Amino acid sequence: MTESESSYLTTSPRHPAWVFVLFPAIAMLLAWGLRGYIGGGPYGAMMPGSFVALALCLLLNYRMETAAVAVVCGTIGIGYGGNMTYGQTLGFLRDSEGIADTVLWGLLGCFIKGGMWGLVGGAILGVGLNRDRYNRKTIILALLVFVIAFFVGRILINDPQKFMYFSNPDDRPRDESWAGFLFGALAFLAVLRFSGDREAFAIPFKFSLWGFIGGALGFSGGALWMVFGPEIPIEQKWIGWWKMMEFSFGFIFGAALGWCAYLNQDRLRIAGRDGEAPSAAWGPLIAVVLLVLVVFNRWIFFSGDPGERDEAGFDILRFSLMILFGYVVFGSVLLSLGLFSVHAAWQISITLTFFHTVLDYVRDLDTVDRFGYSASFATQSLVLYPLTLLLGLLVYWIQSGRNVVQRLFLLAVWACYLSSCARTFGYKETLFPPEGESALHFLIEKHPSMIFVHGTFTVSAIITTWFILSRTTESADLAVENAPN
């Protein structure tokens, strides 16, 4: 260790173990709960990836530029796991007649799928936090090998639907992909191991290990709420046990990643100070915007009169576009672009994450079934794109000021929280209550569990904000204390 590095470690802020554990845990609890509320799938899973990476960068005092890489890696990396299907896996926990029937199989499925989620997400987050030890070519090569290995694992293990299949083979069977992520994660780590020295490899390896532990215990442990929660002698209508599973999953997963960061904080704090930063190039950001517009409007490729199509050719086109537009490929492309531009990295991590929360809301306005009213495609677009543009401009503007990581984190937390408010309070009956009734009365009568869920969002958002602001104040005070006379 150089004298400069030793001096930096002595004077830069250090935080106790409980902060390293609790801050990422609460942030990920919030984000995981929001993920299941305002946007599922892999794009929804970008939210907990973004939040936990921002929390770690704040604790480790990363510069804005090095934090951009770490956060985009966490955002995309933890988003990958959202590709796995698990609705029917959790269904085993609720449909069985006894613990020895299907519950254990469902818990095993949650353990494996949660573990794969953490294995992949932890490895890629670890690379982002340790970016100074790997060049872009190595990371992009590792991502390419990851994608190839993912499809190999799916074809060899998951597609036959025979070996360790955790969905229902008799009722609308789902496509499993947990083995694809196992193959992909191992291939990704192998490329890193043979492309750098052992010390460099230690960080992504340790984060993948702790990610596996946190993901496996978080998902399977959280799933126990769905097994035993209905037996607890309380008014069941107030508690959604699925949401309790999500909150617990996020909390345990975030705590594990925070503990790993605490154990390796000296190495990571140096990486956050000295790591190579992406440029302020606009080209990658423009490419990201164009790709997002294509991917989220891909229905255009499937429009037209089915009778006028060459069905064989159309099926080939649809299969090809499904692979290209699927999150595993598309997310890897986005991450690669984020390595080349600080603007692209932050817009992917925060703006794209927010974009999907709004998209999930406006999609439910196609019919009156969800909120009691509907909106045309044009109206939906007038909500989606101006809000996304506004947030993107705020992300860009914040980068030119002080305390960038802190302010971007606050923006992400409260933008996503407000998006959840639209889903909680956006019903026709809450906006325009019948005479003599109130919005609260409607929620209590029709959606009582929402009160608990949104209350949890509110409390965890406030706690996360306190952590963000207290870390900012502490860092600023220490900087003044150590300033030269």
pLDDT at 110 over 50: yes
Mean pLDDT computed over 157-162: 79
**CB 106, CB 91: distance < 8 Å:** yes
pLDDT at 36 over 80: yes
**CB 285, CB 350: distance < 8 Å:** no
Lowest mean pLDDT among 39-43, 152-156, 273-277: 273-277
| Residue that wins the pLDDT comparison between 348 and 282 | 348
Which tokens is 170 given? Answer: 């008799």
| Residue that wins the pLDDT comparison between 186 and 276 | 186
| Residue that wins the pLDDT comparison between 175 and 78 | 78
Residue 5 lies in a domain: no
pLDDT given for residue 464 in this prediction: 98
pLDDT at 325 over 90: no
Which tokens is 262 given? Answer: 């605490």
Question: Each residue of 346-371: pLDDT tens digit?
Answer: 999 999 999 999 999 999 999 998 89
Residue 1 lies in a domain: no
Percent of the chain scored above 70 by pLDDT?
A: 87
Residue 454 lies in a domain: yes
Mean pLDDT computed over 146-153: 96
Q: How confident is the model at residue 149 (pLDDT cuts 50, 70, 90)?
A: very high
| Residue that wins the pLDDT comparison between 298 and 251 | 251
pLDDT at 320 over 80: no
pLDDT given for residue 479 in this prediction: 41
CA–CA dist 353, 417 (Å, integer): 12
pLDDT given for residue 168 in this prediction: 75
CA–CA dist 374, 357 (Å, integer): 18
- Tally of structural domains, the chain: 1
pLDDT given for residue 270 in this prediction: 85
Residue 400 lies in a domain: yes
| Residue that wins the pLDDT comparison between 248 and 300 | 248
Mean pLDDT computed over 277-291: 85
Question: Each residue of 404-418: pLDDT tens digit?
Answer: 999 999 999 999 999
**CB 181, CB 119: distance < 8 Å:** yes
The mean pLDDT of the chain is 87
Residue 2 lies in a domain: no
CA–CA dist 340, 135 (Å, integer): 11
Looking from the CA of 145 toward its CB, the CA atoms found within 13 Å total 17
pLDDT at 167 over 90: no
Q: Is the pTM of this model over 0.85?
A: yes
Residue 261 lies in a domain: yes
Percent of the chain scored above 90 by pLDDT?
A: 58
pLDDT given for residue 483 in this prediction: 41
Mean pLDDT computed over 431-446: 82
Range of the domain at 366: 16-481
Residue 7 lies in a domain: no
pLDDT given for residue 482 in this prediction: 43
pLDDT at 485 over 70: no
Mean pLDDT computed over 72-96: 88
pLDDT given for residue 445 in this prediction: 82
Q: Of how many residues is the chain composed? A: 485
pLDDT at 322 over 70: no
Q: Which residues contact 64 (CB under 8 A, 6 or more apart)?
A: 342, 399, 404, 405
Mean pLDDT computed over 211-225: 97
Which tokens is 204 given? Answer: 């992504």
pLDDT given for residue 109 in this prediction: 93
- CA distance readout (Å), 306 to 75, 302, 356: 38, 9, 29
Residue 3 lies in a domain: no
Most confident of 133-137, 205-209, 447-451: 205-209
